[in-house]
Structure 1
C-alpha cells in the first residue's frame, strides 16, 4: 500500500525495517538554522536520514528569488538517491513543528514526480507520546537512482502579477494573521501581503495535539475560502514557500488536489518595491 498524504506512528513503526521505506528528519528553526542538525544528532527516529531546509530543500538565494528558493531538481534527486530513494520507495517526512518543514519535502517530492511520500502525522511529539524510541545511530544505504519527471505545480511572480484582478485566480497566504496584515514582520524587509490574497494560517490545519484535522473539516474550510474557485486555480504562498506546502498537503488530505505553489512567495514579491502591497508597513 502506498501512502501519499499522511502516515500514523503505528504504520511507520511497522515499516521501520522495510527496505522499501525511507524516513527523513526535516527539523529546522528559522531563527537558528543549525538547530535541526543538533536535534538530529541528539536523537532521531530509527533509520531516519537528515535533510536541512536551507542546504537540501532550498536553492541558492539571489536577493530576488525569496528566502527559500526551490532547489535544483536534479541535485535534490541525487541527494535523495544517495539515501536509497528510487521511484519505488515510500518516503516519510517528519519534524517537530506540526509538519511545517516536513510538508516542504512532501511537496518537493511530488514536484519531482514521486507521489509515494507522506508526512508523519503528529510528528516527533506524537512518536514520543506513544513511548517509541529514538536513536543516535546514523543510517546507511546503498545509493539508488531517483528519476525526475517534473510536474507543473509552480507559479512565477509574473503569473501572480498578471492575475491580481482575476476573480478565478485564488491566492491563499499561509502566514500568521498578524504578518498577513503587515504587523510584527521580523523576517522580511516589508510587511503586508499580495493584493487580493486571502489568509489561511497553516496552523489552522492542525488540532490541539498537533495532528492534522479530519479531512471533512479541512474540506469544509478550504471550500469556504475557495468560494467556487476550482482547486486548480488556487495558488499557495507564505513567507518563503515553506508553510504554503502545509496548506497544499491539507488540501490533498481534504480531497482537493491540484493547487500550485508560488515558490518565491512574499519574500520574493516584496524584494521589488514596484510590486503592489496590501495591508503593509514599510
Structure 2
C-alpha cells in the first residue's frame, strides 16, 4: 500500500472522525513559521504539530534534535487525538522532509495507518478545496505504542555498520555539504550520497518509476541506513525507499551532528 494519499481522497475523508490530519509546516530559520501559517489557513480539521518541539535533550539518541523515546512520542501524538487505530494524514507546504519526519516518528512507535499528502498544502489550495483559519478542537486520546526499536540506530550501531560493512549508509544532504566543499561537514565514512530533493521535479514528487530508476544502484534486498544533518531530511529518503519496496531500511536519528560530536 502506498505511503501517500492525494487531495481528492482527503477531501472525501474530511467528515471521517477516524482520519486525523496533521499540519507539519516548518522552517528551520523561523520558529513561528509553522503555527503562523496554520492560523493563516489550513485544511479543515487539521491539527498543528510543531516538529521542532518533538525532541528530548535527555535522549541518548543524540544529535541536534534528539529522538524522544516511544512513551514520550505516544503522549505527544495522543495529545493530538491520535490512537492506535487512527488513520493519520500529514502535510507540509508541498512535499518536504517535515511531513516525512512525522510519518517516520509514527512508524517508530508502531503506527500502521499513516500517510503523507502528495502535493501538500500547495496542491490542496491549487485544487480549490476548503481552507479554514480556526484552530481545531482536539480531544486527547491514550496511545499505547508498539515500538520498532530496530529502525532507529545510535552512534555505536553506525560504528558497527562501518566496521562490518553490513549496510549502505546514505547521506540525504546536498552534494556540497556531503563533500565538505562549503568549509565544514563532510560525511560519515563509507557513506554514499542521495540528496532528498532528487525525488522531486520542482516541488512535485516524481513518478514512482522515475524514483526507482534514481535509486536502482541499491538492490531491493540491501540493508540501508539513512542519515542527514539533524535527522529530518533523511526521513524523506526513508519514506521514498519504503515506498519503492525496500524493507531492510533504518534511520540514524542523531545523524551527522551526533556522529561528529565529541564523545567527551
- The TM-score normalised by the length of structure 1 is 0.87
Counterparts in 2 of 1:187-206, with a 5 A limit? 190-206=184-200
CA positional deviation for 1:65 = 1.6
Q: What is residue 278 of structure 1 aligned with on the other side?
A: none
Matched, 1:17 2:15: yes
Q: Deviations over 1:238-273 (max 9, x none)?
A: 011101010011011112233000010011111128
User: Which among 212, 217, 222 is matched to residue 215 of structure 2?
Assistant: 222
Cα distance in 2 for residues equivalent to 1:259 and 1:89:
24
Name the Cα RMSD after superposition: 2.1
Compared with structure 1, are the counterparts of its residues 78 and 223 closer, same or farther at alpha carbon in structure 2 (3 Å cutoff)? Answer: same
More displaced 10-residue stretch of structure 1: 167-176 or 240-249: 167-176
Cα distance in 2 for residues equivalent to 1:61 and 1:242:
19
Counterparts in 2 of 1:164-243, with a 5 A limit? 164-184=162-182, 190-208=184-202, 210-224=203-217, 226=218, 228=219, 230-231=221-222, 233-243=223-233
Q: What is residue 251 of structure 1 aligned with on the other side?
A: 241
User: Which among 25, 32, 48 is matched to residue 27 of structure 1?
Assistant: 25
CA positional deviation for 1:69 = 1.2
User: Which among 68, 72, 76 is matched to residue 69 of structure 2?
Assistant: 72
CA positional deviation for 1:229 = 7.3
Matched, 1:128 2:121: no
Compared with structure 1, are the counterparts of its residues 256 and 262 closer, same or farther at alpha carbon in structure 2 (3 Å cutoff)? Answer: same
Poorly superposed stretches of 4+, deviation over 3 Å: 61-64, 165-168
CA positional deviation for 1:142 = 2.6
CA positional deviation for 1:177 = 0.8
Q: Deviations over 1:197-226 (max 9, x none)?
A: 011100111123x232222222232231x2
- The TM-score normalised by the length of structure 2 is 0.92
How many residue pairs match? The answer is 263
Cα distance in 1 for residues equivalent to 2:2 and 2:74:
18
Higher helix share: 2
Compared with structure 1, are the counterparts of its residues 97 and 72 closer, same or farther at alpha carbon in structure 2 (3 Å cutoff)? Answer: farther
CA positional deviation for 1:58 = 2.2
Cα distance in 1 for residues equivalent to 2:88 and 2:234:
20
Contact 1:240 1:264 (C-alpha < 8 Å) held by counterparts = yes
Structure 2 regions of 5+ residues with no counterpart?
A: none
More displaced 10-residue stretch of structure 1: 130-139 or 71-80: 71-80
Q: Deviations over 1:61-107 (max 9, x none)?
A: 78992111112322221222122211111001111152210000100
Structure 1 regions of 5+ residues with no counterpart?
A: 275-282
Contact 1:169 1:229 (C-alpha < 8 Å) held by counterparts = no
CA positional deviation for 1:26 = 0.6
Cα distance in 2 for residues equivalent to 1:64 and 1:84:
27
Q: What is residue 279 of structure 1 aligned with on the other side?
A: none
CA positional deviation for 1:51 = 0.8
Matched, 1:93 2:90: yes
Contact 1:5 1:119 (C-alpha < 8 Å) held by counterparts = yes
Q: Secondary structure at the match of 1:245?
A: helix
